[in-house]
Amino acid sequence: MYESYYGFKEKPFNLTPDPDYLFMSHGHEETYTHLKYAIMENKGFVVITGEIGSGKTTLINYLLRKLHQNIQIAVINQTLMQPKQFIKMLCQEFEINVDGKDKAAMLDSFHSFLLTRYAERKRVALIIDESQNLPDKTIEEIRMLSNLESEKQHLIQILLIGQPELKYKLQRKSLEQFIQRVTVYWHLDALNVDEVNQYIRHRLWIAVSENLDIFNPGAIAAIHKHSRGIPRLINILCDAALIHGYADDIKVIDANVIEDVVNMKNIGGILSGHNDPDEEKTMLPPKKEVYDQLHKRIQHLEKKMSTLEKSLGDITNNHSSNNNRDELVLELTKMLKQSMQSQANLMLEVIELRHGEKGGEQ
């Protein structure tokens, strides 16, 4: 679509957690160092938090590429599970056959697995993404896993990765025993304005762009303002701005383009909203059904955009020129632009819910 117009080999601002595009800001370097140190030094429980879209999952994927082969790692990201479901998934991720077994038998099988790996001088680590959604009972079950240890070291290293709500959840009196086991805690901060500029140029460079100045300083400042330095929101804004620029034949994106993108569908208030630190401690994730509904809508839009992009690519690759073709290209571009904006709306709705919803446990 806009790739050839701006000289890209591929889209630079996709939302997938691709470690090839990882930009190591100071905060990301610190977070990665804590993750690697915790695993390599077998530090027991580790908690890493960061805002939605701050790059936590991308860092995990990058970490998995870099770790030594004698560490066997499983990653769990479906966390709305009760203890028995969690133990079953844990065993499945480590390829332990637990069909037909009850919870106690599954735990015995898992303990045997850990002892076998220990005898083989192999390390075992579990990374739990989206940990803020874990029920209290499941967190307690995870704590109990730490009792499966040898006299001198842990048999399993457990890392909990999640949104800031995870920190506040772990501060509850009922989880006091768990928080006492946490040896490393780190929070991944958002990017400052200089890092936003570096981040955008880095992604343009990875996409093999010949021009790293597609976004001028005014656009960078506007992107930082509305995204609050959160990489996923930066990607949404930049991708939407490039579609806007392509549709309107704009080679250099300026602040006006960013403001146009933000103001479309009245999403400016969500993008540029700020948190009240006093309110943050009471915030909890939206209910599961709300997330599920939004996720399905986002998936539907992604499929629609994929179809539109393919159709547009097929037409633009046809070098023949006529009025019907030009009108169709324009119409498809407009449709894709609207779909991208709808996707941005949904992503931002998730963020709005997270920052605005209050109440008890899910």
Residue 34, C-beta contacts closer than 8 angstroms, at least 6 positions apart? 46, 48, 184, 186
- Each residue of 143-162: pLDDT tens digit? 888 777 655 677 888 999 99
254: phi > 0 → left, psi -120 to 50 → alpha, else beta; which? Answer: beta
Cα–Cα distance between 48 and 160 in angstroms, integer? 6
Per the CB < 8 A criterion, the answer to whether 188 and 55 are in contact is yes
Is 280 a residue whose pLDDT tops 50?
no
Cα–Cα distance between 158 and 169 in angstroms, integer? 17
Q: Which of 59, 41, 21 is nearest to 207 (CA)?
A: 21
Q: State residue 196 phi and psi, 5-degree precision.
A: -60, -45
Cα–Cα distance between 180 and 192 in angstroms, integer? 33
Per the CB < 8 A criterion, the answer to whether 227 and 274 are in contact is no
128 DSSP β-pair partners: 76, 160
Cα–Cα distance between 142 and 306 in angstroms, integer? 39
Q: State residue 82 phi and psi, 5-degree precision.
A: -80, 165
Residue positions counted in the chain: 362
Cα–Cα distance between 63 and 58 in angstroms, integer? 9
Q: Which of 117, 130, 189, 188 is nearest to 157 (CA)?
A: 117
Best-predicted range by mean pLDDT (113-127, 191-205, 231-245, 254-268): 191-205
Cα–Cα distance between 267 and 227 in angstroms, integer? 12
What are the distances in angstroms from CA 112 to CA 60, 105, 144, 149?
Answer: 27, 11, 16, 11
What average pLDDT does this structure show over 174-187? 87
Q: Which domains does the chain possess?
A: 3-12+192-356 (no CATH), 26-188 (3.40.50.300)
What average pLDDT does this structure show over 220-242? 93
**What percent of the chain is predicted at pLDDT more than 90?**
40
162 DSSP β-pair partners: 49
Is 203 a residue whose pLDDT tops 60?
yes
Q: 10 Å Cβ neighbour count for 124? A: 22
Q: 10 Å Cβ neighbour count for 143? A: 18
pLDDT value, residue 333: 67
Q: State residue 254 phi and psi, 5-degree precision.
A: -115, -175
pLDDT value, residue 283: 41
* Residue 276's pLDDT band (cuts 50, 70, 90): very low
